[in-house]
Amino acid sequence: MKRVRIISATRYSELHFNRYSKLGIALQKISYDPNICVSIKFENCLPNGLGLGQIFNQYLHPQYEKEILLFVHDDVYIDDFFLSFRLNEAIAHYDVVGVAGNRTLPSPEISWILDRNMAGGFFWQAKEKLSGAVAHFQPQGEAVSQYGAVPSVCRLIDGCFMAVNTERELAQKVRFDEQFKFHFYDLDFCRSCDQNGLKIGTWPIAVTHDSGGAFGSEAWESACQEYFAKWYPDHAVPVFSGSVDESQSTHPS
């Protein structure tokens, strides 16, 4: 069984990360497992903090080639305490593993889960294109968003939880593009993996995410421009209206 290295970045100090972050609390639960080790970049704050791609690329190195690298947000609570077993199962089938993703490439994509119409409106992707399940913290309690059948081959996966078979990544020389600091780094990484013949897929692993995304923020808009300049230079860059048109598709539930 390969060792799993959990890698994350947080604005918190080590003390506050362990006490208050969803990931920090979850790591205490799975600390019993000798097949799990942890690398956290603490106090990684804007404007001087490192981008996620910069941090993650430090581990796409021969020193870690015998490990599974799990890149995960600090607001993700890992419910599944058989994590190392699940990921070792998963990399027998896929080179890049997530808990939620899109089976298609909704070109030109702006998210793994959102699409846009000719008028520029944003709407949820059709459920038959999606895969995976993620719980979310809500005022009334945790609720599971069931996106679609899992496991499944995907073209894009959500960067909140992304594991890689390090040997395969190194063999194909795929790395994160460091111009994408906190947004679009996951889509760009998936596109690069896809181009280099790496197999992407979802796997049934129980996690709970304490975020719904940051669509339309100033940082998101800036990263979107960079992403389109790289992958779709002939397309107009979309501007998020601030809402999703619920009439065009059904939100995964």
The residue ranges of every structural domain in the chain are 4-231
Residue 119: Cβ-neighbour burial (10 angstroms; 0-12, 13-18, 19+): exposed
What is the tally of helices (H) and strands (E) in the chain? 7, 15
DSSP code for 135: E
Q: What is the pLDDT of residue 243?
A: 53
Would you call the peptide bond into 108 cis, given omega within 30 degrees of 0 as the criterion?
yes
Instruction: Render the burial of 212-232: b for 16+ CB within 10 Å, e for the rest.
Output: eeebeeeebeebbebbbeeee
Pick the CATH number of 4-231 from 1.20.1730.10, 3.90.550.10, 3.30.1540.10, 3.40.50.1370: 3.90.550.10
Of the listed ranges 16-30, 49-63, 113-127, the least confidently predicted one is: 113-127
Which tens digits make up the pLDDT trace of 198-236? 999 999 999 999 976 666 678 888 898 999 999 998 887
Side-chain half-sphere exposure of 211, counting CA atoms within 13 A:
16
Find the mean pLDDT for residues 1-18. Answer: 98
Query: Other C-beta atoms within 10 Å of 251: how many?
Result: 11
Residue with more model confidence, 100 or 215:
100
